[in-house]
Structure 1
Amino acid sequence: MYVIFGASGNAGFATATALRRAGHAVRAVLRETRHGVHHSAPHNSHHSDRLAALGCEVAFADLSDRASVAEAIRGAQAVQILCPVPMADAHPEATMRKMIDAAAEALRADPPETVLALSDYGAELEGNTGITRIYHYLEQQFKSVATRLILLRSAEHMQNWRRTIPAALGSGVLASFHHPLNKRFPTVAAQDVGVASAELLLDPAHGYGTRIVSIEGPRRISAAYVANVLAEISNREIVARELPREQWTPVLLRAGLSERHAQLITDLYDVHNAGKIDVEFGMPERRFGKTELVEVFAPVVAGLNAQPRVERV
């Protein structure tokens, strides 16, 4: 049995799909709150149906509760685990550390043969790297599990740019936290991370111990490149502009993030723009996804164009 946490996400769903196509039993784990309510219940119902259609056993777990995680991994040959970033949380780092601790404790008590943890570029760094420092903590905690541990560090997900598309299409300006605009950085499509995860879970060549693998997309991109791709797809003039540093926090707060969450984001981009978030030097095992940015953006733009426009009077 392969247990996939976060199976409703792009990466997790791709992993579950690949494993099912290979003929393996999959338990797809969706999120449940500590009060027993399924996270975003109608949305989860849709994902539950999709996963069941693949032939997955669908389970629910509260990632912050050790007993709930332990029940989800019971009987597992391999577990794919992640630590989602809580979007509406006043204390996101504390919440994420609690989830990591609960998962690590459950895995230590009942270790499967293989654990694959989804991590981030820059997770090897100590110090203040924003959200990335939480993945440094994740890696340290999971290294104490007596298992064949795979740490799959991924670059920034291309899907993260999707939330900027409506504003860019409306204004003709793509505001960027990445400075300068022509600086190239690694990204990857989330589904490519999921496919790589499945391949690693099924790879019997490596024994016990820790295996660290990095993954990024077929090419490195810049904010200017992102704007050009969006302009080409939408057939509109769109230019990239640096979002001034002093505007980062106000913009993030207006987007609904808590103050602590906004601080994690600004700290991350400070070190990113300093060139410190990248594949670890000397990384022996690197993988590259095949999905291009245009393939991620095209359906989003098509969906927005299909929406009825409301005429103002």
Structure 2
Amino acid sequence: MKPSRMRVMFVVLGATGKIGRATIGELRRQGAPVRAIVRGPNSADDLSAMGCDVRVADIHDGEALGESMRGATAVQIICPTSIRADDAAAEMRNSIRTIVDALDRNRPSSVLAISDYGAHLASDTGITLTFHHLESELKKLPAALTFLRSAEHMENWSRLIGRAVETGVLPSLHHPVTKLFPTVSAPDVGVIAGELLLSGARAPVSIIHAEGPDRYSVEDVARTAGELVGRKITAREMSRPDWIPALVRGGLSASYAELVAAMYDAHNVGRIDVEPGVGDIRQGRTSLREVLASITKTS
């Protein structure tokens, strides 16, 4: 017999991120019990105020992570990215191993994993290959699995918009700048995840793709940002040899920058998209203009 909703204990890993917070908000609006896993106590107060049972567990502490999942019937996980690691791929694989081991010890009935467009591909996708590995490892668990594959987050443009407003040029790793690509607001992914958790997993493996209400090009981003700040902004393709130096200047390790560059190589030949003929597409409600309006107000 399927347990009633109120008997389900939802555990959310990555509770302080944009996706995790939005998931928790959706669950708590429906009165669902939530245990929020955080890395440190400093980020716990607002989650406690929302009615969450807050547990502190570092992603690298398998014992603490396993204990924080004790009694869970449904767990949402997200693999933290290691943007400054000397070997980013290896560090993220280690994190995945720790998470999967903790889940295996606790055996929740269902697991929802935040994944990535293109995660069905087994090679030559850079950072996206990490999510392929995550999905593959989770399939070894005796749980109903939901893979919520997220498109690129609109909020990522915050790294470039301020400079684009100053210079009038928006550089891009998307080539060409006229190409439409899927993108979504990160909190919308969390809301969709919350809805999926509340509906309960039914199939052994369910695949859902999350993207925004429309697809956009980099030219759309530049034009919209320009309209919001009252100046012309031109989208410009960044030369491929300049990608990794620019990413490293932006704070990424060389290892992580290589993975990001390889992902955009795959993106630019059309490989990073919905898995053909598999799963459903859920569309978030937040438009690119809304996200850029928030970014330009603070840039």
Q: Tell me which interval the TM-score lies in, with the shorter structure as reference length.
A: over 0.9
2:273 matched to which residue of 1? 278
2:31 is aligned with 1:23:
yes
Aligned-partner Cα distance in 2 for 1:151–1:162? 27
> Given the alignment, which residue of 121, 131, 138 partners 2:117?
121
1:288 matched to which residue of 2? 283
1:250 matched to which residue of 2? 245
Aligned-partner Cα distance in 1 for 2:221–2:285? 17
Paired residue type of 1:8: T
> Given the alignment, which residue of 145, 169, 182 partners 1:186?
182
The equivalences for 1:1-313 within 5 A come to 1-31=9-39, 38=40, 45=42, 47-204=43-200, 206-304=201-299
- Match of 2:59, SS? coil
Maintained 8 Å contact 1:147/1:208: no
Show CA shifts across 1:132-184 (max 9, x none).
Answer: 00000000000111111111001101111111111111111000000001000
Paired residue type of 1:221: Y
- How big is the shift at 1:19? 0.5
Maintained 8 Å contact 2:180/2:217: yes
Maintained 8 Å contact 1:116/1:152: yes
Aligned-partner Cα distance in 2 for 1:303–1:159? 12
- How big is the shift at 1:208? 4.7
Aligned-partner Cα distance in 2 for 1:234–1:59? 42
Show CA shifts across 1:13-45 (max 9, x none).
Answer: 0000110110011111112xxxxxx3xxxxx72
- How big is the shift at 1:85? 0.8
Paired residue type of 2:277: G
Paired residue type of 1:16: I
1:309 matched to which residue of 2? none
Aligned-partner Cα distance in 2 for 1:284–1:271? 21
- Match of 1:213, SS? strand
Maintained 8 Å contact 2:213/2:286: yes
- Match of 1:125, SS? coil
User: Runs of 4+ in structure 1 displaced over 6 angstroms?
Assistant: none
Maintained 8 Å contact 1:157/1:187: yes
- Match of 2:298, SS? helix
Aligned-partner Cα distance in 1 for 2:64–2:91? 16
- What residue ranges of structure 1 are gaps of 5+ in the alignment? 32-37, 39-43, 305-313
Maintained 8 Å contact 1:65/1:99: no
2:4 matched to which residue of 1? none
- Match of 2:149, SS? strand
Aligned-partner Cα distance in 2 for 1:48–1:66? 20
Q: Which moved more, 1:117-126 or 1:68-77?
A: 68-77
Aligned sequence identity (%)? 46
- What residue ranges of structure 2 are gaps of 5+ in the alignment? 1-8
1:35 matched to which residue of 2? none
Maintained 8 Å contact 2:154/2:291: yes
TM-score of the superposed pair, with normalisation by structure 1: 0.90
TM-score of the superposed pair, with normalisation by structure 2: 0.94
Maintained 8 Å contact 1:20/1:54: yes
- Match of 1:199, SS? helix
